[in-house]
């Protein structure tokens, strides 16, 4: 391979061992973070069934580096809330979120997690952003697997830009 490059007079690099490019350390870390998300599926309803499709071979979320699903909050950095969160479940979701290590992100998958959906009734939390800071909302009832992947890509864009920590700090200040 190296022989081919050297022998090709049109090759821009004489020796590709010398190839280097510069970046900021923050961007480099964010690039690593966005491409190795460890999701925690907080599945409470049908959105979790869609997420099973996302993880399995047909949609294959490992193409985006987010296939290492962990059921321990200590081992994950991206919690996907997949389904209806009732008032009784609220403190449990908060506890799981609090156990996750920084940096951490939240995706509200489906209308129930985002706004309560059609459960406009006494028992359902009207959106999980009442108790945890949400980074990406995925609409749909349930969203298609493509929709969930699109939400994940939006989160990746957000991580690449940085500023998520600042957004969460703003949220904490607003809630104090």
Partner 1 sequence: MPEIDTNLLESKIPGLMAAFSGETFSVTDYRGDLMVVVPAARLREVVRFLKSHPSLPFEMMMDLFAMDYSKKLPETPERFAVIYQLYSVTAGRRVHLKVFLPEEKPEVESIHDLYAAANWFEREAWDLFGVVFVGHPHLIRILCHGDFVGHPLRKDYPSDQYQRLKNAAPVSGL
Q: Is 49 in the site for partner 1 (CB under 8 A)?
A: no
Please, which residue, 126 or 144, has the CB nearer to partner 1? 126
Kindly compute the dihedral angle of the four CA atoms of residues 78, 110, 168, 79, in this order, to the nearest 10 degrees: -20
Give min distance, CB of 44 to partner 1, in A.
14
Closest CA to 61 of 135, 156, 140, 142: 156
Tell me which of 13, 14, 16, 88 binds partner 1, using CB under 8 A.
88
Tell me which of 69, 126, 144, 154 binds partner 1, using CB under 8 A.
126
Q: Are strands 78-82 and 105-109 parallel, antiparallel or unpaired?
A: parallel
Q: Is 55 in the site for partner 1 (CB under 8 A)?
A: no
Assess contact for 101 and 75: CB atoms under 8 A.
no
Q: Is 140 in the site for partner 1 (CB under 8 A)?
A: no
Assess contact for 44 and 50: CB atoms under 8 A.
no
- Contact residues for partner 1, defined by CB under 8 A: 87-88, 90-92, 95, 120-123, 125-126
């Amino acid at each position: 391979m190296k022989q081919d490059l050297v022998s090709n007079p049109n090759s821009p690099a004489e020796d590709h061992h010398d190839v280097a490019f510069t970046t900021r350390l923050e961007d480099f870390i964010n690039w690593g973070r966005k491409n190795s998300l460890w999701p925690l599926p907080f599945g409470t309803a049908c959105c979790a069934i869609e997420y099973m499709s996302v993880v399995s071979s047909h949609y294959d979320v490992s193409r985006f580096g987010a296939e290492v699903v962990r059921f321990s909050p200590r081992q994950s950095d991206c919690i996907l809330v997949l389904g209806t969160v009732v008032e009784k479940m609220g403190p449990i979701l908060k506890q799981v979120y609090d156990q996750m290590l920084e940096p951490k992100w939240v995706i509200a998958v489906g209308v129930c997690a985002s706004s309560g959906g059609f459960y406009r009734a006494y028992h359902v939390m009207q959106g999980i952003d009442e108790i945890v800071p949400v980074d990406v909302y995925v609409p749909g009832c349930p969203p298609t697997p493509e929709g969930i992947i699109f939400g994940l890509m939006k989160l990746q864009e957000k991580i690449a830009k940085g500023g998520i920590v600042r957004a969460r700090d703003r949220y904490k200040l607003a809630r104090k």
